[in-house]
Structure 1
Amino acid sequence: MLNGLYVMDPNRFDDVYGPQARAAIERHLAIPSPPLTADRLTPDVLADLQVLVTGWGAPRLDAELLAAAPKLSLVLYGAGSIRPLVTPEMWARGVRVTSAAIANATPVAEFALSQILYALKHGWRYVLAARAAAAPAARGPEIGAYGAVVGLVSLGATGLATARLLAHHDLVVQAYDPYADPAQAGRLGVRLVGLAELFATSDVVSLHAPLTPETRGIVGAGLLESMKPDATLINTARGGLVDEAALVDVLGRRTDLFAVLDVTDPEPPVTGSPLFTMPNIVVTPHVAGSLGHERRRHGQAMADELARYVAGEPLLYEITESGLARRA
């Protein structure tokens, strides 16, 4: 039996580590206390710690914490990006870390799929038009889903998950990702194209890229202007990918275009932002990712990783220092 601790935001603990996941984890870990917050980690609490079970609100694994936890060998991170907790000292110590980021791809992909199909039916357009007029909206030339072209920006975890869901529909799927595996894309029926071609030829463009210095503002006026008539932009990734001033300008002039923004920059938008009042933009409050008990996928993924660790098997979701650097 290994020694473990639950350490994370108490408001999210039960959402992530539900009864099933906790039972599976506690078959392998002796956990001497209720869940703790990072500010309650004292040297005596950390002295025998071997496995840290965490998520949102995780402690940063700096030199001071590592010195107090000499036996720590594994971190189970039931959330997405591990950047808030990792440090050079952690990597140097050889502490292994595995993340539930892949589990979070599922609800994002489900949300993206729903918005892609809804966009091809002009769903939001009719809702907003009817509300503004207090009368039935006039029907327009809907695209429909059959044979429509959907463009995905990035084939990372969420992009791939979205592509897998789209494969069940009669759509043409293309993607821009300079790091994508062409063979993997081919198996999913996804055609790899350049970014300019993707925007110019897609009926719906769905963003799934990470936010890096290279991708910040990547969707600017030129790409937006190039979009097909009646096309829709969906962003469930990061608000900073889109130049929002350009978005407001272009969609203010091209009222045939539409945008569904689940993320913005800043987030939430400032009070009075035109994003809330423009007739061809809808903003949702960052709901695409795991919510409520959807987060229990994260906890179950970490319970499964712990079972593999104890059995001496490879970890499916382990993140290495070199792998994290490549993602950046």
Structure 2
Amino acid sequence: MIRMVVTDHIFADLEHERAAARTLGAALETFNVATEAETIEALRGANIALVNFAPVTDAVLEVMAPGAVIVRYGIGYDNVDLEAADARGIAVCNVPDYGGDTVADHAVTLALMLMRKIIHFDRVLATGEWISPPVLAPILASSQTTVGLLGTGRIGLAVARRLQPFGFKVLAFDPFANQEHVGEYGIELVSLDELFAQSNLISLHAPATPETHKIINAANLDRMRPGSFIVNTARGALIDQDAVLEALGSGQLAGVGLDVFDPEPLPRDHGLRTHPNAILTPHAAFYSEQSLQNLQRLASEEAIRAGRGENLRCLVNRPALNAPSA
């Protein structure tokens, strides 16, 4: 019998997963693991694993059934050792399209709150005081503001589409994009240096790779216009948090809107938690009732394909090329 395992989750119920298990005639087991040791025990002999944040290391992969399939709840798969999965012939899938619009909504919300300085006005009025708007100058008109996108995948393009009615100029850096395609969204492709130099606000929509690791660092922040903004709803590893804190202190950055951190949770004593120019949310950009339903449904449908031996919809590695010989 197929052994199907949910290692960890945040859902109200697992009806989609249970339905998938019934379709396959599989045994479904659910856990709430967090450590490598716990994950090893949960996935010992598993054929299909649906994984949220559990660490899927080589030691974990070693105990899974031959030809197993891992389905990551979400877009990123930083917690899965892809090289080890390749070497062991284990397929890894993600769910890239369950909630892109929700993340884009969150990113644009943070951007508008920062640029319009909504939090600052609110905090003054909450004390019972009043404020003259020019005290918080400068606040630029959207038509005079350039937003830079680091990445033009599904979410980056959705952000650009939301920004268009406001009249923002939108630039982007993406080495894999072409101008004809992104131009339909009102985006002008530029170099990375130009993105930092010309943008009033940069919104991050790139995966965590060796090339993008801490791409928001002291050197690149210094290339930005004084008083600029950063929004990150992508991956915490894209940002050097200490460099961002220092740039907030110097005024090089006027504000940041961060939904993801490295590590998570953000340490209790990190200065970003209390900085008046930082808007922080707890990795919540993905969340809406509809996006969670989409996530569970799409992940469960992938699990069914895995159990039936069908082509996987969202394979992110190449296990067939590296599977151990029988």
Q: Aligning the two structures, in what range does the TM-score lie when normalised by the shorter sequence? A: 0.7 to 0.9
1:74 alignment partner in structure 2: 69
Q: Classify the secondary structure of the residue corresponding to 2:98.
A: helix
Letter aligned with residue 109 of structure 1:
A
Give the Å deviation of 1:82.
3.2
Residue aligning to 2:63: 65
User: What does 1:141-152 align with in structure 2 at a 5 Å threshold?
Assistant: 142-146=139-143, 148-152=145-149
Contact 1:121–1:142 (Cα < 8 Å) also in 2: yes
How far 1:41 sits from its partner (Å)? 4.5
Displacement after TM superposition at 1:206 (Å): 0.9
Cα contact 2:221–2:252 (8 A) shared by 1: no
Counterpart in the other structure of 2:313? 316
Please report the TM-score for the alignment, with normalisation by the length of structure 2: 0.75
1:274 pairs with 2:296: no
1:121–1:145 CA contact under 8 A, matched in 2: no
Listed one character per residue, the Cα deviations across residues 33-74 of structure 1 (whole Å, up to 9, x for unaligned) are 44246454486xx3xx644444333654656424xx24x453
- The aligned residue for residue 284 of structure 2 is 287
Shifted more, 296-305 versus 100-109: the winner is 100-109
The answer (yes or no) to whether the contact 1:175–1:191 under 8 Å persists in 2 is yes
- Check whether the contact 1:219–1:242 (CA below 8 A) recurs between aligned residues: yes
Could you tell me which residue of structure 2 aligns to residue 5 of structure 1? Answer: 4
Contact 2:57 2:84 in 1 (8 A): no
Give ranges in structure 2 of 5+ residues lacking alignment.
Answer: 34-38, 320-326
Using a 3 Å threshold, how does the CA distance of structure 1 residues 18 and 171 change in structure 2: closer, same or farther? farther
1:263 aligns with 2:257: no
Q: Encode CA deviations 1:274-298: one digit per residue, 9 max, x unaligned.
A: 3244332333333223478743332
CA drift of 1:225 comes to 4.1
C-alpha separation in 1, matches of 2:40 and 2:116: 50
For residue 186 of structure 1, report the CA deviation from its aligned partner. 2.5
SS of the equivalent of 1:107 reads helix
Written as runs of structure 1 = structure 2, the 5 A alignment for 1:90-169 is 90-103=85-98, 105-131=100-126, 134-140=128-134, 142-146=139-143, 148-167=145-164, 169=166
Q: Is the 8 A contact 1:28 1:310 kept in 2?
A: no
* C-alpha deviation, 1:164, in angstroms: 4.1
The CA deviation string for residues 179-198 of structure 1, in whole angstroms up to 9 with x for no partner, is: 33434322333211122322
- Alignment of 1:186 onto 2:180: no
The alpha-carbon distance between structure 1 residues 311 and 321, as it changes in their structure 2 partners (threshold 3 A), is closer
Using the alignment, how far apart are the partners of 2:101 and 2:296 within structure 1? 14
Residue in 2 aligned with 1:325?
Answer: none
* Residue 252 (str. 1) matches residue 249 (str. 2): yes
Q: Which amino acid aligns with 2:129?
A: A
TM-score norm. by structure 1 comes to 0.75
CA contact (8 A) 1:239 1:264 kept: yes
Structure 1 CA distance, aligned partners of 2:231 and 2:43? 45
Q: Is the 8 A contact 2:56 2:81 kept in 1?
A: no
Residue 198 of structure 1 corresponds to 195
- CA–CA separation in structure 1 for the residues paired with 2:55 and 2:263: 24
Distance 2:180 2:202 in 1: 22
Of the three residues 51, 55, 60, the one matched with 2:52 is 55
- Looking at structure 2, the residues matched to 265 and 213 of structure 1 have their Cα atoms a distance apart, in angstroms, of 15
Amino acid across the alignment from 1:280 = N
Structure-1 separation of matches of 2:181 and 2:19: 33
Q: Is the 8 A contact 1:8 1:58 kept in 2?
A: no
Q: Which whole-Å CA distance do the structure 2 matches of 1:233 and 1:137 have between them?
A: 25
Instruction: Give CA deviations for 1:260-314 in whole Å, capped at 9, x if unaligned.
Output: 2233445445455432443323333332234787433321112333455678875
Percent sequence identity over aligned pairs: 28
For this pair of structures, how many residues does the alignment match? 309
> Any unmatched runs of 5+ in structure 1?
323-328
C-alpha distance 214-91 of structure 1, shift in aligned 2 (>3 A): closer
Structure 2 CA distance for aligned equivalents of residues 205 and 80 of structure 1 = 21
Map of 2:323 onto structure 1: none
Q: Which amino acid aligns with 2:93?
A: T
